Structure 1
Amino acid sequence: MAKKAKAVETTEVAPQETIVQEVQVKKQVKPTKPSWEIKDRIYYLKGNKTPLTMTIPSKHTRKHSLLYFDKESGVQKEIRYATNQDSPFVEEQKGEATLGHIMFKNGSLQVPKNKQNLQKLLSLYHPLKGRMYEEFSAVAEAEDELDVLDLQIDALNAARNMDIDQAEAILRVEIGSKVNSMSSKELRRDLLLFAKKNPTLFINLANDDNVQLRNIAIRAQEVGIIRLSSDQRTFTWGSNGRKLMNVPFDENPYSAFAAFLKTDEGVEIYKSIDKKL
Protein backbone atom coordinates (compact mmCIF):
# COMPACT_ATOMS: atom_id res chain seq x y z
CA MET A 1 0.00 0.00 0.00
CA ALA A 2 1.54 3.19 -1.12
CA LYS A 3 2.19 5.85 1.46
CA LYS A 4 0.74 9.23 0.79
CA ALA A 5 3.26 12.06 0.89
CA LYS A 6 2.59 14.64 3.51
CA ALA A 7 1.81 17.98 2.09
CA VAL A 8 4.21 20.66 3.24
CA GLU A 9 2.30 23.70 4.22
CA THR A 10 3.98 26.99 3.35
CA THR A 11 2.95 30.34 4.63
CA GLU A 12 3.55 33.31 2.44
CA VAL A 13 4.73 36.42 4.33
CA ALA A 14 4.17 39.81 2.82
CA PRO A 15 7.41 41.70 2.23
CA GLN A 16 8.19 44.16 5.04
CA GLU A 17 9.03 47.73 4.32
CA THR A 18 12.32 48.86 5.79
CA ILE A 19 11.89 52.13 7.68
CA VAL A 20 14.95 54.25 7.79
CA GLN A 21 14.80 56.98 10.43
CA GLU A 22 16.82 59.99 9.62
CA VAL A 23 18.65 61.45 12.60
CA GLN A 24 19.31 65.13 12.29
CA VAL A 25 22.60 66.12 13.80
CA LYS A 26 22.63 69.67 15.01
CA LYS A 27 25.66 71.55 14.00
CA GLN A 28 27.47 73.25 16.85
CA VAL A 29 27.17 76.94 16.40
CA LYS A 30 30.19 78.86 17.56
CA PRO A 31 29.43 82.14 19.33
CA THR A 32 30.04 85.05 17.04
CA LYS A 33 32.28 87.84 18.14
CA PRO A 34 30.54 91.18 18.57
CA SER A 35 30.91 93.19 15.41
CA TRP A 36 33.00 96.34 15.48
CA GLU A 37 30.78 99.41 15.13
CA ILE A 38 32.00 102.37 13.12
CA LYS A 39 31.18 105.41 15.25
CA ASP A 40 32.68 108.32 17.15
CA ARG A 41 34.05 107.22 20.53
CA ILE A 42 34.84 108.99 23.80
CA TYR A 43 37.39 107.86 26.39
CA TYR A 44 37.70 109.23 29.92
CA LEU A 45 40.22 108.92 32.75
CA LYS A 46 39.16 106.78 35.71
CA GLY A 47 38.62 108.20 39.19
CA ASN A 48 36.99 111.44 37.96
CA LYS A 49 40.44 112.82 37.14
CA THR A 50 40.39 115.94 34.98
CA PRO A 51 43.94 117.18 34.45
CA LEU A 52 44.44 119.90 31.86
CA THR A 53 46.40 117.45 29.68
CA MET A 54 47.58 113.89 30.17
CA THR A 55 49.47 111.77 27.65
CA ILE A 56 49.47 107.98 27.72
CA PRO A 57 52.07 105.79 25.95
CA SER A 58 51.52 105.38 22.20
CA LYS A 59 54.46 103.08 21.37
CA HIS A 60 56.40 100.23 22.97
CA THR A 61 59.49 101.23 24.96
CA ARG A 62 61.54 99.76 27.79
CA LYS A 63 59.77 102.08 30.22
CA HIS A 64 56.25 101.56 28.86
CA SER A 65 55.38 98.10 27.58
CA LEU A 66 52.82 98.22 24.77
CA LEU A 67 52.30 94.56 23.94
CA TYR A 68 49.08 92.69 23.17
CA PHE A 69 48.82 88.92 23.70
CA ASP A 70 46.94 87.26 20.84
CA LYS A 71 45.22 84.21 22.37
CA GLU A 72 44.51 82.61 18.99
CA SER A 73 48.12 82.61 17.83
CA GLY A 74 49.71 82.58 21.29
CA VAL A 75 52.01 85.43 20.31
CA GLN A 76 52.67 88.80 21.89
CA LYS A 77 52.30 91.59 19.38
CA GLU A 78 53.85 95.02 19.61
CA ILE A 79 51.41 97.88 19.15
CA ARG A 80 51.84 101.58 18.41
CA TYR A 81 49.78 104.50 17.18
CA ALA A 82 50.86 105.52 13.68
CA THR A 83 48.65 108.18 12.11
CA ASN A 84 49.36 106.97 8.55
CA GLN A 85 48.75 103.25 9.18
CA ASP A 86 45.48 101.29 9.27
CA SER A 87 46.58 98.69 11.83
CA PRO A 88 47.79 99.30 15.39
CA PHE A 89 50.08 96.23 15.14
CA VAL A 90 53.68 97.01 14.20
CA GLU A 91 54.06 93.79 12.18
CA GLU A 92 51.13 94.79 9.96
CA GLN A 93 52.32 98.33 9.35
CA LYS A 94 54.11 98.92 6.05
CA GLY A 95 56.52 101.63 5.00
CA GLU A 96 57.43 104.65 7.06
CA ALA A 97 55.26 105.14 10.17
CA THR A 98 54.28 108.60 11.39
CA LEU A 99 53.89 108.24 15.15
CA GLY A 100 51.17 110.19 16.97
CA HIS A 101 50.49 111.21 20.58
CA ILE A 102 47.52 110.01 22.64
CA MET A 103 46.50 112.96 24.81
CA PHE A 104 43.55 113.37 27.16
CA LYS A 105 42.35 116.95 27.68
CA ASN A 106 40.38 117.82 30.81
CA GLY A 107 40.06 114.10 31.56
CA SER A 108 38.60 112.96 28.22
CA LEU A 109 39.59 112.10 24.67
CA GLN A 110 37.21 112.22 21.69
CA VAL A 111 38.23 110.07 18.73
CA PRO A 112 36.22 110.51 15.48
CA LYS A 113 35.11 107.49 13.46
CA ASN A 114 37.63 108.17 10.68
CA LYS A 115 40.50 107.29 13.09
CA GLN A 116 39.79 103.57 13.29
CA ASN A 117 43.41 102.67 14.03
CA LEU A 118 43.43 104.82 17.19
CA GLN A 119 39.97 103.65 18.26
CA LYS A 120 40.91 99.97 18.00
CA LEU A 121 44.18 100.56 19.82
CA LEU A 122 42.36 102.26 22.71
CA SER A 123 39.26 100.03 22.78
CA LEU A 124 40.76 96.60 22.12
CA TYR A 125 44.51 96.45 22.66
CA HIS A 126 45.95 99.15 24.92
CA PRO A 127 47.08 97.66 28.30
CA LEU A 128 45.99 100.78 30.24
CA LYS A 129 42.32 100.33 29.30
CA GLY A 130 40.42 99.53 32.48
CA ARG A 131 43.35 100.65 34.63
CA MET A 132 43.83 104.30 33.70
CA TYR A 133 40.95 105.03 31.35
CA GLU A 134 37.63 103.62 30.12
CA GLU A 135 35.54 103.93 26.98
CA PHE A 136 32.26 105.77 27.42
CA SER A 137 29.21 103.53 26.99
CA ALA A 138 25.71 105.01 27.05
CA VAL A 139 24.26 101.63 28.12
CA ALA A 140 26.75 101.16 30.95
CA GLU A 141 26.24 104.76 32.02
CA ALA A 142 22.46 104.26 32.15
CA GLU A 143 22.89 101.06 34.19
CA ASP A 144 25.14 102.88 36.67
CA GLU A 145 22.69 105.76 36.99
CA LEU A 146 19.83 103.30 37.55
CA ASP A 147 21.80 101.55 40.30
CA VAL A 148 22.45 104.92 41.99
CA LEU A 149 18.78 105.89 41.78
CA ASP A 150 17.69 102.55 43.27
CA LEU A 151 20.21 103.01 46.07
CA GLN A 152 18.96 106.56 46.74
CA ILE A 153 15.36 105.34 46.94
CA ASP A 154 16.33 102.62 49.43
CA ALA A 155 18.31 105.12 51.51
CA LEU A 156 15.52 107.73 51.49
CA ASN A 157 12.90 105.17 52.50
CA ALA A 158 15.12 104.00 55.37
CA ALA A 159 15.76 107.61 56.47
CA ARG A 160 12.06 108.44 56.38
CA ASN A 161 11.13 105.55 58.67
CA MET A 162 14.09 105.93 61.05
CA ASP A 163 13.55 106.84 64.70
CA ILE A 164 14.98 110.12 65.94
CA ASP A 165 17.69 108.57 68.14
CA GLN A 166 19.20 106.61 65.26
CA ALA A 167 18.90 109.66 63.01
CA GLU A 168 20.87 111.68 65.55
CA ALA A 169 23.51 108.94 65.78
CA ILE A 170 24.04 108.87 62.01
CA LEU A 171 24.12 112.66 61.64
CA ARG A 172 26.61 112.95 64.49
CA VAL A 173 29.06 110.98 62.35
CA GLU A 174 28.51 113.47 59.51
CA ILE A 175 28.27 116.86 61.28
CA GLY A 176 29.49 116.20 64.84
CA SER A 177 28.17 117.96 67.95
CA LYS A 178 26.06 120.35 65.86
CA VAL A 179 23.22 117.84 66.21
CA ASN A 180 22.79 118.88 69.86
CA SER A 181 21.28 122.22 68.85
CA MET A 182 19.05 120.88 66.05
CA SER A 183 15.29 120.34 66.30
CA SER A 184 13.72 117.04 65.31
CA LYS A 185 12.53 118.50 61.99
CA GLU A 186 16.00 119.79 61.22
CA LEU A 187 17.43 116.37 62.03
CA ARG A 188 14.99 114.63 59.70
CA ARG A 189 15.58 117.17 56.90
CA ASP A 190 19.36 116.83 57.10
CA LEU A 191 19.07 113.05 57.37
CA LEU A 192 17.08 112.88 54.11
CA LEU A 193 19.57 115.18 52.38
CA PHE A 194 22.45 113.05 53.62
CA ALA A 195 20.73 109.84 52.43
CA LYS A 196 20.19 111.35 48.97
CA LYS A 197 23.71 112.80 48.67
CA ASN A 198 25.62 109.73 49.89
CA PRO A 199 23.28 106.71 49.93
CA THR A 200 26.05 104.10 50.22
CA LEU A 201 27.59 105.66 53.33
CA PHE A 202 24.14 106.26 54.84
CA ILE A 203 23.10 102.61 54.43
CA ASN A 204 26.41 101.42 55.87
CA LEU A 205 25.96 103.66 58.93
CA ALA A 206 22.33 102.61 59.34
CA ASN A 207 23.40 98.95 59.47
CA ASP A 208 26.27 99.60 61.89
CA ASP A 209 25.27 98.85 65.49
CA ASN A 210 28.32 100.67 66.83
CA VAL A 211 27.12 104.00 65.41
CA GLN A 212 24.19 104.22 67.81
CA LEU A 213 26.24 102.94 70.75
CA ARG A 214 28.93 105.50 69.99
CA ASN A 215 26.29 108.22 69.92
CA ILE A 216 25.00 107.10 73.34
CA ALA A 217 28.55 107.25 74.71
CA ILE A 218 29.03 110.80 73.36
CA ARG A 219 25.68 111.97 74.76
CA ALA A 220 26.41 110.39 78.14
CA GLN A 221 29.77 112.15 78.27
CA GLU A 222 28.23 115.50 77.26
CA VAL A 223 25.67 115.42 80.09
CA GLY A 224 28.17 114.12 82.66
CA ILE A 225 26.90 110.58 83.14
CA ILE A 226 30.35 109.29 82.22
CA ARG A 227 33.68 111.09 81.96
CA LEU A 228 36.62 110.70 79.64
CA SER A 229 40.04 111.55 81.06
CA SER A 230 42.03 114.41 79.54
CA ASP A 231 44.45 111.97 77.91
CA GLN A 232 41.43 110.11 76.43
CA ARG A 233 42.62 106.82 77.89
CA THR A 234 40.05 106.12 80.64
CA PHE A 235 36.26 106.23 81.05
CA THR A 236 34.81 106.69 84.56
CA TRP A 237 31.37 107.23 86.10
CA GLY A 238 30.62 110.94 86.39
CA SER A 239 28.98 110.57 89.80
CA ASN A 240 31.73 108.80 91.77
CA GLY A 241 34.74 108.59 89.44
CA ARG A 242 34.78 104.78 89.42
CA LYS A 243 36.67 103.44 86.41
CA LEU A 244 34.61 101.80 83.70
CA MET A 245 37.24 100.87 81.14
CA ASN A 246 40.66 101.68 79.69
CA VAL A 247 40.80 102.69 76.03
CA PRO A 248 43.08 100.41 73.98
CA PHE A 249 46.07 102.12 72.42
CA ASP A 250 45.52 103.87 69.08
CA GLU A 251 41.72 103.45 69.12
CA ASN A 252 38.99 106.07 69.02
CA PRO A 253 37.74 106.29 72.63
CA TYR A 254 34.05 106.35 71.73
CA SER A 255 34.39 103.47 69.25
CA ALA A 256 36.19 101.49 71.96
CA PHE A 257 33.46 102.33 74.51
CA ALA A 258 30.76 101.29 72.01
CA ALA A 259 32.47 97.91 71.61
CA PHE A 260 32.74 97.66 75.43
CA LEU A 261 28.98 98.17 75.81
CA LYS A 262 28.41 94.96 73.81
CA THR A 263 30.30 92.81 76.33
CA ASP A 264 28.64 91.03 79.28
CA GLU A 265 29.88 93.68 81.71
CA GLY A 266 29.08 96.52 79.34
CA VAL A 267 25.44 95.49 78.82
CA GLU A 268 24.57 96.37 82.44
CA ILE A 269 26.41 99.70 82.14
CA TYR A 270 24.51 100.39 78.89
CA LYS A 271 21.18 99.78 80.62
CA SER A 272 22.14 102.17 83.41
CA ILE A 273 23.26 104.90 80.99
CA ASP A 274 20.16 104.47 78.84
CA LYS A 275 17.86 105.00 81.86
CA LYS A 276 19.71 108.15 82.90
CA LEU A 277 19.59 109.57 79.40
Structure 2
Amino acid sequence: MAITITKPKDWVIKDRTYLVKGNGNPVIFTVPCRHTQRKPLMWFDEEKGINRELRYATNQNSPFVDEQRGLCTLGHVVMKEGKLSVPKSDQALQLLLSVYHPKKGILYDEFEPEAIANNQVDWIELELEALNLAVQLEIDDAEAILRVEKGSAVSKMSSKEVKRDVLLMAKNNPAMFLELAKDDNVQLRNIGVKATEANIIKLSDDQRTFVWGSNGRKLFTVPFDEHPYNALASWFKTDEGLEVFKSIQKRLK
Protein backbone atom coordinates (compact mmCIF):
# COMPACT_ATOMS: atom_id res chain seq x y z
CA MET A 1 0.00 0.00 0.00
CA ALA A 2 1.41 3.36 -1.06
CA ILE A 3 2.25 5.86 1.66
CA THR A 4 0.58 9.28 1.43
CA ILE A 5 3.22 11.92 2.06
CA THR A 6 2.10 14.76 4.32
CA LYS A 7 2.67 18.12 2.64
CA PRO A 8 0.85 21.44 2.11
CA LYS A 9 -1.76 21.55 -0.67
CA ASP A 10 0.01 24.49 -2.33
CA TRP A 11 3.46 22.86 -2.14
CA VAL A 12 5.56 23.64 -5.23
CA ILE A 13 8.28 21.28 -6.42
CA LYS A 14 11.35 23.38 -7.19
CA ASP A 15 14.97 23.87 -6.16
CA ARG A 16 15.25 25.71 -2.84
CA THR A 17 17.95 27.58 -0.94
CA TYR A 18 18.28 28.10 2.80
CA LEU A 19 20.30 30.74 4.63
CA VAL A 20 21.57 30.94 8.20
CA LYS A 21 19.90 33.80 10.09
CA GLY A 22 21.99 36.67 11.35
CA ASN A 23 24.76 38.81 9.94
CA GLY A 24 27.52 36.20 10.00
CA ASN A 25 28.12 33.35 7.55
CA PRO A 26 29.63 30.49 9.57
CA VAL A 27 31.91 28.16 7.64
CA ILE A 28 29.98 25.14 8.91
CA PHE A 29 26.50 25.27 10.45
CA THR A 30 24.63 22.09 11.34
CA VAL A 31 20.83 22.00 11.53
CA PRO A 32 19.36 19.29 13.81
CA CYS A 33 17.62 16.74 11.59
CA ARG A 34 16.46 13.92 13.86
CA HIS A 35 14.61 13.67 17.14
CA THR A 36 16.63 13.00 20.29
CA GLN A 37 15.96 13.43 23.99
CA ARG A 38 18.50 16.25 24.15
CA LYS A 39 17.28 17.95 20.95
CA PRO A 40 13.60 17.17 20.38
CA LEU A 41 12.41 17.42 16.78
CA MET A 42 8.63 17.11 16.66
CA TRP A 43 5.78 18.66 14.70
CA PHE A 44 2.24 18.95 16.03
CA ASP A 45 -0.31 17.71 13.49
CA GLU A 46 -3.51 19.64 14.21
CA GLU A 47 -5.64 17.40 11.98
CA LYS A 48 -4.57 14.26 13.82
CA GLY A 49 -4.10 15.95 17.18
CA ILE A 50 -0.70 14.34 17.80
CA ASN A 51 2.99 15.22 17.89
CA ARG A 52 4.85 13.55 15.04
CA GLU A 53 8.53 12.73 15.12
CA LEU A 54 10.76 14.21 12.41
CA ARG A 55 13.86 12.61 10.91
CA TYR A 56 15.83 13.26 7.73
CA ALA A 57 16.71 10.05 5.90
CA THR A 58 18.30 10.27 2.46
CA ASN A 59 16.46 7.18 1.16
CA GLN A 60 12.97 8.24 2.28
CA ASN A 61 10.38 10.51 0.66
CA SER A 62 8.95 11.94 3.88
CA PRO A 63 10.51 13.70 6.88
CA PHE A 64 7.99 12.01 9.21
CA VAL A 65 9.13 8.84 10.95
CA ASP A 66 5.61 7.38 10.77
CA GLU A 67 5.69 7.70 6.97
CA GLN A 68 9.12 6.14 6.53
CA ARG A 69 9.46 2.46 5.64
CA GLY A 70 12.31 -0.04 5.77
CA LEU A 71 15.93 0.66 6.57
CA CYS A 72 16.63 4.39 6.91
CA THR A 73 19.88 6.02 5.89
CA LEU A 74 20.21 9.01 8.19
CA GLY A 75 21.40 12.22 6.58
CA HIS A 76 23.06 15.36 7.90
CA VAL A 77 21.99 18.92 7.21
CA VAL A 78 25.07 21.11 6.95
CA MET A 79 25.11 24.69 5.72
CA LYS A 80 28.44 25.88 4.37
CA GLU A 81 29.31 29.56 4.37
CA GLY A 82 25.80 30.19 5.72
CA LYS A 83 24.01 28.58 2.78
CA LEU A 84 22.46 25.28 1.70
CA SER A 85 20.98 24.54 -1.74
CA VAL A 86 18.57 21.60 -1.89
CA PRO A 87 17.53 20.25 -5.32
CA LYS A 88 13.87 19.50 -6.05
CA SER A 89 14.71 15.79 -6.11
CA ASP A 90 15.22 15.83 -2.32
CA GLN A 91 11.63 16.43 -1.27
CA ALA A 92 12.03 14.96 2.21
CA LEU A 93 14.71 17.50 3.13
CA GLN A 94 12.85 20.39 1.50
CA LEU A 95 9.66 19.58 3.39
CA LEU A 96 11.59 19.29 6.63
CA LEU A 97 13.38 22.61 6.22
CA SER A 98 10.59 24.63 4.55
CA VAL A 99 7.50 23.45 6.40
CA TYR A 100 8.00 21.34 9.49
CA HIS A 101 11.29 22.18 11.17
CA PRO A 102 10.67 24.08 14.46
CA LYS A 103 13.91 26.05 14.05
CA LYS A 104 12.92 27.65 10.75
CA GLY A 105 12.86 31.40 11.30
CA ILE A 106 15.10 30.97 14.34
CA LEU A 107 18.29 29.31 13.09
CA TYR A 108 17.70 29.68 9.35
CA ASP A 109 15.23 30.88 6.72
CA GLU A 110 14.31 29.88 3.21
CA PHE A 111 15.55 32.31 0.57
CA GLU A 112 12.47 33.55 -1.29
CA PRO A 113 13.30 36.23 -3.89
CA GLU A 114 9.64 36.90 -4.70
CA ALA A 115 8.74 37.51 -1.06
CA ILE A 116 11.78 39.77 -0.67
CA ALA A 117 10.75 41.74 -3.77
CA ASN A 118 7.20 42.11 -2.42
CA ASN A 119 8.53 43.39 0.90
CA GLN A 120 10.79 45.85 -0.89
CA VAL A 121 7.90 47.16 -2.99
CA ASP A 122 5.75 47.57 0.14
CA TRP A 123 8.58 49.45 1.87
CA ILE A 124 9.17 51.76 -1.11
CA GLU A 125 5.46 52.55 -1.36
CA LEU A 126 5.31 53.29 2.37
CA GLU A 127 8.40 55.49 2.08
CA LEU A 128 6.88 57.42 -0.84
CA GLU A 129 3.64 57.95 1.08
CA ALA A 130 5.57 59.27 4.07
CA LEU A 131 7.82 61.53 1.99
CA ASN A 132 4.88 62.97 0.03
CA LEU A 133 3.16 63.82 3.30
CA ALA A 134 6.35 65.26 4.80
CA VAL A 135 6.83 67.58 1.81
CA GLN A 136 3.32 68.98 2.25
CA LEU A 137 3.53 69.56 6.01
CA GLU A 138 3.28 73.05 7.44
CA ILE A 139 6.31 73.92 9.56
CA ASP A 140 4.31 73.77 12.82
CA ASP A 141 3.09 70.27 12.01
CA ALA A 142 6.60 69.14 11.04
CA GLU A 143 7.94 70.58 14.29
CA ALA A 144 5.30 68.71 16.30
CA ILE A 145 6.23 65.38 14.76
CA LEU A 146 9.95 66.00 15.09
CA ARG A 147 9.60 67.00 18.73
CA VAL A 148 8.59 63.42 19.57
CA GLU A 149 12.06 62.28 18.50
CA LYS A 150 14.25 65.27 19.35
CA GLY A 151 12.43 66.86 22.29
CA SER A 152 13.23 70.45 23.26
CA ALA A 153 16.12 70.61 20.76
CA VAL A 154 13.51 71.35 18.07
CA SER A 155 12.94 74.81 19.53
CA LYS A 156 16.50 75.82 18.58
CA MET A 157 16.29 74.54 15.00
CA SER A 158 15.70 76.72 11.96
CA SER A 159 12.76 76.05 9.63
CA LYS A 160 15.11 74.50 7.06
CA GLU A 161 16.60 72.20 9.68
CA VAL A 162 13.14 71.11 10.82
CA LYS A 163 12.07 70.44 7.23
CA ARG A 164 15.27 68.50 6.50
CA ASP A 165 15.02 66.34 9.61
CA VAL A 166 11.35 65.57 9.17
CA LEU A 167 12.06 64.43 5.59
CA LEU A 168 14.86 62.20 6.86
CA MET A 169 12.53 60.81 9.51
CA ALA A 170 9.91 60.04 6.86
CA LYS A 171 12.51 58.29 4.71
CA ASN A 172 14.22 56.29 7.45
CA ASN A 173 11.16 55.32 9.49
CA PRO A 174 8.07 55.85 7.32
CA ALA A 175 5.72 53.71 9.44
CA MET A 176 6.45 55.66 12.63
CA PHE A 177 6.28 58.98 10.76
CA LEU A 178 2.84 58.20 9.29
CA GLU A 179 1.57 57.05 12.68
CA LEU A 180 2.71 60.29 14.32
CA ALA A 181 1.31 62.40 11.47
CA LYS A 182 -2.13 60.87 12.02
CA ASP A 183 -2.01 61.26 15.81
CA ASP A 184 -3.73 64.51 16.78
CA ASN A 185 -2.20 64.27 20.27
CA VAL A 186 1.20 64.95 18.68
CA GLN A 187 0.03 68.39 17.57
CA LEU A 188 -1.64 69.08 20.90
CA ARG A 189 1.49 68.09 22.85
CA ASN A 190 3.54 70.41 20.66
CA ILE A 191 1.23 73.33 21.41
CA GLY A 192 1.57 72.56 25.11
CA VAL A 193 5.36 72.47 24.95
CA LYS A 194 5.56 75.70 22.93
CA ALA A 195 3.18 77.43 25.33
CA THR A 196 5.39 76.39 28.25
CA GLU A 197 8.54 77.57 26.47
CA ALA A 198 6.84 80.92 25.80
CA ASN A 199 5.77 81.17 29.49
CA ILE A 200 2.11 81.32 28.47
CA ILE A 201 1.58 78.41 30.81
CA LYS A 202 3.92 76.89 33.40
CA LEU A 203 4.50 73.37 34.65
CA SER A 204 5.28 73.02 38.35
CA ASP A 205 8.65 71.65 39.45
CA ASP A 206 7.06 68.38 40.55
CA GLN A 207 5.55 67.96 37.03
CA ARG A 208 2.04 67.67 38.51
CA THR A 209 0.32 71.01 37.81
CA PHE A 210 -0.11 73.41 34.89
CA VAL A 211 -0.84 77.07 35.70
CA TRP A 212 -1.21 80.30 33.73
CA GLY A 213 2.16 81.98 33.35
CA SER A 214 0.76 85.47 33.90
CA ASN A 215 -1.02 85.00 37.22
CA GLY A 216 -0.22 81.48 38.44
CA ARG A 217 -3.88 80.41 38.34
CA LYS A 218 -4.21 76.64 38.28
CA LEU A 219 -5.33 75.14 34.99
CA PHE A 220 -4.96 71.41 35.27
CA THR A 221 -3.62 68.69 37.57
CA VAL A 222 -1.69 65.89 35.86
CA PRO A 223 -3.10 62.45 36.76
CA PHE A 224 -0.74 60.18 38.65
CA ASP A 225 1.67 58.13 36.50
CA GLU A 226 0.93 60.10 33.31
CA HIS A 227 3.41 62.12 31.25
CA PRO A 228 2.49 65.79 31.81
CA TYR A 229 2.28 66.76 28.13
CA ASN A 230 0.40 63.61 27.16
CA ALA A 231 -2.10 64.40 29.91
CA LEU A 232 -2.28 68.04 28.81
CA ALA A 233 -3.01 66.98 25.22
CA SER A 234 -5.92 64.85 26.43
CA TRP A 235 -7.18 67.69 28.64
CA PHE A 236 -7.19 70.08 25.68
CA LYS A 237 -9.97 67.89 24.21
CA THR A 238 -12.30 68.52 27.17
CA ASP A 239 -14.75 71.44 27.25
CA GLU A 240 -12.66 73.32 29.82
CA GLY A 241 -9.37 72.48 28.16
CA LEU A 242 -10.60 73.48 24.70
CA GLU A 243 -11.18 77.07 25.82
CA VAL A 244 -7.66 77.23 27.24
CA PHE A 245 -6.27 75.67 24.06
CA LYS A 246 -7.95 78.33 21.89
CA SER A 247 -6.56 81.07 24.11
CA ILE A 248 -3.05 79.59 23.92
CA GLN A 249 -3.22 79.34 20.12
CA LYS A 250 -4.09 83.04 19.86
CA ARG A 251 -1.18 84.01 22.12
CA LEU A 252 1.30 81.89 20.18
CA LYS A 253 0.47 83.59 16.87
TM tier, smaller: 0.7 to 0.9
SS at match of 2:237: coil
Q: CA deviation at 1:109?
A: 4.3
Q: Which residue of 1 aligns with 2:98?
A: 123
| TM-score, reference length from structure 2 | 0.81
SS at match of 1:42: strand
Contact kept? 1:226, 1:238, Cα under 8 Å: yes
Select the structure with the greater relative contact order (CA < 8 A; seq sep ≥ 6). Answer: 2
1:158-187 C-alpha deviation (Å, 9 max, x unpaired): 111111100000011112222112221221
Q: Which residue of 2 aligns with 1:67?
A: 43
Q: Determine whether 1:188 maps to 2:188.
A: no
Contact kept? 1:43, 1:133, Cα under 8 Å: yes
Over aligned residues, Cα RMSD in angstroms? 3.0
Correspondence list, 1:106-121, <5 A: 109-113=83-87, 116-121=91-96
Give, in whole Å, the separation in 2 of the partners of 1:229 and 1:104: 63
Q: Which residue of 2 aligns with 1:98?
A: 74
Q: Give ranges in structure 1 of 5+ residues lacking alignment.
A: 1-31
SS at match of 2:210: strand
Give, in whole Å, the separation in 2 of the partners of 1:243 and 1:81: 73
Contact kept? 1:57, 1:102, Cα under 8 Å: no
Correspondence list, 1:135-154, <5 A: 135-154=110-129
Q: Which residue of 1 aligns with 2:241?
A: 266
SS at match of 1:151: helix
Q: CA deviation at 1:206?
A: 0.5
Give, in whole Å, the separation in 1 of the partners of 2:145 and 2:93: 49
1:64-105 C-alpha deviation (Å, 9 max, x unpaired): 35135285x887542123456554222415425435356697
Q: CA deviation at 1:258?
A: 0.6
SS at match of 1:274: helix
Specify the code of the residue in structure 1 equivalent to 2:76. G
1:105-155 C-alpha deviation (Å, 9 max, x unpaired): 7xx643332754322201132244467754222111111111111111111
Correspondence list, 1:1-277, <5 A: 33-34=9-10, 36-43=12-19, 45=21, 49-50=22-23, 57-61=32-36, 64-67=40-43, 69=45, 71=47, 77-82=52-57, 87-91=62-66, 92=68, 94-95=70-71, 97-98=73-74, 100=76, 109-113=83-87, 116-129=91-104, 134-277=109-252
Give, in whole Å, the separation in 2 of the partners of 1:33 and 1:60: 25
SS at match of 1:227: strand
Q: CA deviation at 1:265?
A: 0.2
Percent identity reads 49
Instruction: Give the number of equivalent residue pairs.
Output: 240
Q: CA deviation at 1:260?
A: 0.5
Contact kept? 1:70, 1:77, Cα under 8 Å: no
Q: CA deviation at 1:244?
A: 1.1
Does 267-276 or 133-142 show the bigger shift? 133-142
1:5-55 C-alpha deviation (Å, 9 max, x unpaired): xxxxxxxxxxxxxxxxxxxxxxxxxxx94463331412454xxx4477686
Contact kept? 1:60, 1:67, Cα under 8 Å: no
SS at match of 1:38: coil
Give, in whole Å, the separation in 1 of the partners of 2:79 and 2:226: 46
